[in-house]
Structure formats: structure tokens, C-alpha cells
């Protein structure tokens, strides 16, 4: 996987429109003067979205204190909520990028923002500038994710060559949330339904029941903390997949906000990698 650029993009964007792709998946389209900056990024790579507090229609970007190597504190009334997402697409002709959100009520700031977002609302986006690889070259692929991983896994599937084959296991709220994902590769899709992912997932049990490739393979796993941990341990320790054959990272931890669980999620990944 190629290294990222040291340069950063920072843009305040404006909502132009939104649509429900499924009952629990919202696509929000955004525009702004700096849309062209995203042309040199890879669709599917993580970014940071900055959601303004209620009543604030401006993004107050955090400043980094290089002397003390930390972010400068901001007053609560202007400090944005920061969450990790990815832009799902870009169109320089319409000067838009779009980001997909899982709609799970107002439990979290990102879902609540997307549900209530209207034309003219603002959203901040920060990310590394430059191209990077989402996956390693292989003959067979094992792609696994819950609803939060659909944007990046969709980007991988859309980029895979016709010669690739594999399985894609995705978990969504219910049958109406199945999405049509384009790919030239020979991919077998398995859709699981889970109306309450906070209470657990069947992804691990399903993966254990599959006949997985033994060589020339690559796996991409993104889901809740415990699910990713179990799948990673199974592939690396029981099936002896190499470090270069698997990317697995937890996007969230049940019952804990993203910023509060970040250290645990990084530590778990590094414990095996």
C-alpha cells in the first residue's frame, strides 16, 4: 500500500442536495471553491469531516500547535464534531463531491447531521492530499464490512480488474438496504441483515464458515471493534495469512464515541500487525 502525501487538504463545503440510497443510507452532495483539491485524492480513502455545533453555519478548523505537538483547544460553542468518513465520489464538472452516511437516528453527530442536512448547510473536510492504494494486487479477494464500510469496499470493487475474483460479505440493517455495487470482477456477494449492530454481528461466524483462498489473496475488513478483532485473529493466527495479505481496521467500537475509542482501535490493530 503506497504512502500518503504529507500535504493536507482543508475545505469548507456547502450542501447542494442529498438523497436516500436506501432507507438507512444517505448520500450528501457538497460543493465549494476548493473542490478541485480533491481531484488528486483516491476515492475511498479516509477523511475527517467537521460538523459544526447547532446554530453555527461556519467551520472553525482546529489549529495545530507544532511547538507542543498538539491541537490547540477550541471553545465548546464553536468546536466542530470530528468524525472519520470518506468521499464516495467527485465530479469536477458539477464541482461536487459526495459522502455517504449510515442513517441510525440522532445517536451520533454524523447521522443526526446527515438526516437534517439541507441545501446551504456547511461541512468541513480535512484529509491528506495525494493518491494512495486501497488494496494490494491479488487474484482472489475477501472483502468484509458492516454498513460503515460500504463506501470504501464499493470503491475497491469498482476498481478491481475483470480478472479478479472473490467474495464480498456486507452487513446492513435489512433487505431494503442492499445496494447495487458495480464491479468488473467475479465477486460473490453475501448480504447479512442486522437491525441492531450495537448488540453484535454475524460477520465473524459467516467468515469462519466460508472456504477462503489459500494463495494469491488479499482481505479487506472494516467493521465494529470486536468483529474486526475476531476476524483478524482468525485469518492471521488460525489461517496464517501474512500481514501483507490483510488490511483490517475497526471503524467504531460499540457503546463508545469514535474519538474516545480511537486509541483502543489503533492498539488492537498494532497488536497483530
C-alpha grid cell, residue 242: 501474512
Residue 1 lies in a domain: no
Structural domain boundaries, residue 187: 140-271
Q: Are residues 180 and 206 in the same domain?
A: yes
Q: Are residues 153 and 265 in the same domain?
A: yes
Q: Are residues 256 and 150 in the same domain?
A: yes
Ramachandran area for residue 67 (φ above 0: left; ψ -120 to 50: alpha; else beta):
alpha
Read off the CATH number of the domain in which 258 is found: 3.40.50.80
Q: Are residues 149 and 264 in the same domain?
A: yes
Residue 182 lies in a domain: yes
Residue 172 lies in a domain: yes
> Could you identify the residue written with the cell 482501535?
265
Q: Are residues 167 and 247 in the same domain?
A: yes
* CA–CA gap between residue 37 and residue 102 (Å, rounded): 26
Over residues 81-97, the pLDDT tens digits come to 999 999 999 999 999 99
pLDDT tops 50 at residue 23: yes
Q: How many domains does the chain have?
A: 2
Residue 134 lies in a domain: no
Q: Are residues 83 and 156 in the same domain?
A: no
C-alpha grid cell, residue 251: 471503524
Over residues 204-257, the pLDDT tens digits come to 999 999 999 999 999 999 999 999 999 999 999 999 999 999 999 998 888 776
Q: Output the pTM of the full model.
A: 0.89
Q: Where are the beta strands (DSSP E) in the chain?
A: 8-22, 25-31, 46-51, 64-65, 70-71, 81-91, 96-102, 122-128, 140-145, 165-172, 186-193, 217-224, 246-252
Q: Are residues 232 and 266 in the same domain?
A: yes
Q: Are residues 188 and 259 in the same domain?
A: yes
Residue 2 lies in a domain: no
Q: Are residues 148 and 260 in the same domain?
A: yes
Residue 248 lies in a domain: yes
HSE (side-chain half, CA atoms, 13 Å) at 184: 7
Strand pairing category for 122-128 and 8-22:
antiparallel
Chain mean position to CA 189: 19
Q: Which residue from 117, 102, 156 is spatially nearest to 30, judged by alpha carbons?
A: 117
Packing angle of the helix pair 258-272, 225-233 (nearest 10 deg): 0
Read off the CATH number of the domain in which 37 is found: 2.40.30.10
C-alpha grid cell, residue 214: 489459500
Over residues 44-64, the pLDDT tens digits come to 999 999 999 999 999 999 988
Amino acid at each position: 500500500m503506497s504512502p500518503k502525501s504529507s500535504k493536507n487538504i482543508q475545505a469548507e463545503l456547502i450542501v447542494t442536495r442529498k438523497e436516500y440510497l436506501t432507507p438507512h443510507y444517505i448520500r450528501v452532495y457538497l460543493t465549494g471553491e476548493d473542490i478541485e483539491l480533491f481531484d488528486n485524492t483516491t476515492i475511498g480513502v479516509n477523511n475527517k469531516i467537521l460538523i459544526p455545533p447547532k446554530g453555527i453555519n461556519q467551520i472553525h478548523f482546529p489549529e495545530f500547535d507544532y511547538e507542543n505537538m498538539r491541537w490547540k483547544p477550541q471553545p465548546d460553542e464553536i468546536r466542530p464534531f470530528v468524525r472519520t468518513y470518506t468521499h464516495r465520489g467527485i465530479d469536477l464538472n458539477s464541482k461536487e463531491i459526495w459522502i455517504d452516511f449510515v442513517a441510525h437516528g440522532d445517536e451520533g453527530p454524523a447521522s443526526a447531521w446527515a438526516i437534517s442536512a439541507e441545501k446551504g448547510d456547511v461541512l468541513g473536510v480535512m484529509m491528506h492530499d495525494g493518491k494512495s492504494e486501497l488494496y494490494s494486487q491479488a487474484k482472489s479477494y475477501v472483502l468484509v464490512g458492516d454498513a460503515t464500510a460500504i463506501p470504501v469496499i464499493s470503491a475497491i470493487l469498482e476498481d478491481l480488474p475483470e480478472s479478479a475474483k472473490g467474495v464480498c460479505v456486507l452487513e446492513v440493517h435489512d433487505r431494503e438496504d442492499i445496494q447495487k455495487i458495480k464491479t468488473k470482477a467475479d465477486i460473490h456477494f453475501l448480504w447479512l441483515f442486522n437491525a441492531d449492530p450495537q448488540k453484535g454481528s454475524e460477520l465473524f461466524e459467516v467468515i469462519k464458515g466460508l472456504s477462503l483462498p489459500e494463495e494469491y489473496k488479499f482481505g479487506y475488513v472494516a467493521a465494529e471493534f470486536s468483529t474486526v478483532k475476531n476476524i483478524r485473529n482468525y485469518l492471521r493466527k488460525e489461517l496464517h495469512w501474512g500481514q501483507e495479505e490483510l488490511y483490517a481496521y475497526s471503524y467504531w467500537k460499540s457503546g463508545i464515541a469514535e474519538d474516545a475509542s480511537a486509541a483502543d482501535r489503533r492498539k488492537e490493530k498494532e497488536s497483530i500487525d
